[in-house]
Structures are given as structure tokens and as C-alpha cells.
């Protein structure tokens, strides 16, 4: 009896005392790995000394069958009990991938293909404008399709937060689809946060007056169908030319008035909010100012003057 009691006391002590690790180590549990194999692998990795004590400790704590697969960061000084708690909690290493605002759905899929720690294929390119740009966390070998599903769910959630009751959009927009479409254009037209609501106001003014939006990003989308080139020469692999503005597509807002058939990219929350709460003004035109922003105008004469100034700036930059 003395030996039994002594053995139990020793086992309890070993289960709670700091482990042998002297530096941080990543330990992976493949899906379907049983408790016995986990215990042996922990010893092989030098994380614990006694696999039987770990296994018995897990069983006595009623945690058998609760250990979760994944990658774990084990730090020096963690006891077998600490490790058990971590594995049962599923406190796995979370990796990150950032999807920036304004990417097309095709570009998002292509981005995920480059993330080697993800697994599987995406069966089809998701609908344009329905993925929320954000930084997403994932675990090693998580299916790419699950990351896409999370992006879709987050966009649905964002729309519900920004538009809790319908209609929540300004005239002449008629639906959330219209909101997403215009927000995607705003996203592609300006990277200056302070300009988003003003740009949205310009486009809404043009829609109300029946003036074509005449925005270059819609022409680029019409030509590329969202499959942009990424070789450092722009989405077309060249500059947009005057002849491109006559490209026949319902997405070409130079050729057809009103909104295009759908979004031309995936807008972020700020651009969606800009469309839902635009700046109210009587501006109709805008052109680049040469420093990343835009100059706005109420009349065509004023706009033509701004365009002439922009061309001077562009010529100077090209010299």
C-alpha cells in the first residue's frame, strides 16, 4: 500500500511539475491521432518525460477523447497538465492572411492559392463583391474553401451591421446589391479615406442626373473580367487607352449610363459606409491631383481646367 500511495503521489507530482523544454517548440497533432500516440509523440519531441503519466493524467481528468488536432506552441516550463489543458482547449497556432480592399474575387482566390499552409482548391470563383476584405486567421492545412466561406459570412455580417433595416440606402439606389456595386467603384477610385464619402456623393449626383459615371475602373473590369494582371504594369498590363473607353460591355460606364450589372471588386466596410452615408454636395466631376487624391468640380468648365492641370503634372512626372 505504501508503494501504491507513493507511486500515485509521484505520478501526480510528475504531472504537475515543469517539463524538460528549454526553448519554444511547435508540436503538431494530425487529425485522428489517439491519446497513446499523442503521449508517445510528446516524449519523442522532448516535451514530456513520461508518456504513461501524461496518458493516465488525461484519463483521470476526464479529458480522454477531447484532445484537438492542430499545431501548438509549447513553451519552456509547461507541465504535462498545462499541455493537457492547451490541447483540450484547442489553443492552436493561428496563422494570418490579409485580403486588402479592392481585390476582385478572382484575385482573392489566386491570393489564397499562394498560401502554402492552406489546403484544397476553391471550386469556383465567388460572386464579385461578396467577400469582406480583412485579415483572417487560419490553422495549418485549413481548406481554402473554409476561408472563402468565412469571408462571405463576414460580408453578410458587415452588411447587416451597416444596414440593420431596409431600405437604408440613398436614392436612386434600390438595393444592397446597388450599394455593393457603387461601393466597389468608390473603393477602386480612391485610396484616400477622407475622400470616400465625397466620391460616393459625386457618383450619386451623376446617377440622379442621368449622367454616365464614366469611371475607368469599370472599363478595366469590363476588359479583364476581374482577372487582373499583377506584373507591376497595372491591371491591364499597360495603360488604359482612349480606345478602351468604347469597349462594348454593360460594365463600361462610359458607354452605358447607370450602374454596371454588379460589383467590380470587393469593397471594404469604409467604402460601403461611404455609399450608405455619402457627403451631400453638388459636385459632378473629379480628377487626380497628382498626389494621390482628387480635385472636385461642379461644372464641366471647371473640370476641364482641372484636367489640363493634371495633364501638366503627368507630363512633368514622365520627363
The C-alpha cell at 55 is 496518458
pLDDT of residue 1: 53
Per-residue model confidence (pLDDT) at position 6: 54
Task: For the chain, list the domains and their CATH numbers.
Answer: 2-89 (3.30.1490.480), 95-160 (no CATH), 175-318 (no CATH)
CA torsion sign for 124, 106, 243, 210 is positive
CA dihedral 159, 165, 168, 174 (to 10 degrees): 90
Q: Which region, left, alpha or beta, applies to residue 141 given φ > 0 means left and ψ of -120 to 50 means alpha?
A: left
CA atoms lying within 13 Å on the CB side of residue 267: 31
CB 103 within 8 A of CB 111: yes
Collect all residues with Cβ–Cβ distance below 8 Å to 310 and sequence separation of at least 6: 287, 288, 289, 290, 295
| Closest residue by Cα to residue 310 from 296, 99, 298, 94 | 296
Nearest-angstrom CA–CA distance, 270 and 178: 16
Q: Helix or strand or coil: residue 207?
A: helix
Q: Which of 77, 82, 86, 84 is nearest to 22 (CA)?
A: 77
Torsion of CA 169, 175, 181, 185, to 10 degrees: -20
- Helix, strand, or coil here: 47? coil
Q: Which cell numbers in the block locate residue 100?
A: 486588402
pLDDT averaged over 10-residue windows placed end to end, the chain, 319 residues: 58 89 93 94 96 96 93 94 96 93 97 95 96 94 95 98 95 97 97 95 98 97 92 86 95 97 98 98 93 92 91 77
What whole-number distance in Å separates Cα of residue 125 and Cα of residue 111?
12
The DSSP secondary-structure symbol of 225 reads T
The β-bridge partners of 5 are none
Amino acid at each position: 500500500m505504501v508503494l501504491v500511495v507513493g507511486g500515485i503521489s509521484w505520478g501526480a507530482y510528475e504531472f504537475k511539475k515543469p517539463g524538460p523544454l528549454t526553448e519554444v517548440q511547435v508540436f503538431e497533432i494530425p487529425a485522428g491521432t489517439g491519446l497513446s500516440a499523442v503521449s508517445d509523440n510528446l516524449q519523442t519531441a522532448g516535451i514530456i518525460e513520461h508518456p504513461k503519466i501524461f496518458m493516465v493524467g488525461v484519463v483521470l481528468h476526464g479529458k480522454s477523447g477531447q484532445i484537438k488536432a492542430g499545431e501548438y506552441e509549447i513553451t519552456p516550463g509547461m507541465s504535462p497538465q498545462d499541455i493537457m489543458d492547451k490541447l483540450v482547449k484547442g489553443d492552436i497556432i493561428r496563422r494570418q492572411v490579409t485580403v486588402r480592399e479592392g481585390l476582385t474575387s478572382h484575385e482573392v482566390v489566386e491570393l489564397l492559392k499562394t498560401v502554402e499552409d492552406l489546403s484544397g482548391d476553391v471550386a469556383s470563383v465567388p460572386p464579385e463583391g461578396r467577400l469582406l476584405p480583412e485579415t483572417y486567421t487560419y490553422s495549418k492545412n485549413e481548406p481554402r474553401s473554409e476561408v472563402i466561406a468565412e469571408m462571405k459570412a463576414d460580408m453578410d455580417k458587415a452588411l447587416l451591421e451597416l444596414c440593420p433595416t431596409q431600405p437604408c440606402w440613398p436614392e436612386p439606389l434600390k438595393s444592397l446589391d446597388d450599394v455593393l456595386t457603387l461601393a466597389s467603384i468608390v473603393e477602386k477610385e480612391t485610396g484616400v479615406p477622407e475622400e470616400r464619402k465625397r466620391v460616393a456623393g459625386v457618383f450619386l449626383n451623376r446617377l440622379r442626373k442621368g449622367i454616365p459615371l464614366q469611371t475607368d475602373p469599370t472599363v478595366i473590369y469590363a476588359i479583364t473580367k476581374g482577372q487582373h494582371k499583377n506584373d507591376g504594369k497595372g491591371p491591364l498590363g499597360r495603360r488604359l487607352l482612349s480606345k478602351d473607353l468604347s469597349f462594348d460591355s454593360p460594365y463600361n460606364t462610359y458607354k452605358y449610363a447607370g450602374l454596371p450589372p454588379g460589383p467590380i471588386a470587393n469593397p471594404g466596410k469604409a467604402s460601403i459606409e461611404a455609399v450608405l452615408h455619402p457627403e451631400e454636395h453638388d459636385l459632378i466631376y473629379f480628377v487626380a491631383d497628382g498626389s494621390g487624391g482628387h480635385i472636385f468640380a461642379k461644372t464641366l468648365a471647371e473640370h476641364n481646367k482641372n484636367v489640363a492641370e493634371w495633364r501638366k503634372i503627368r507630363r512633368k512626372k514622365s520627363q
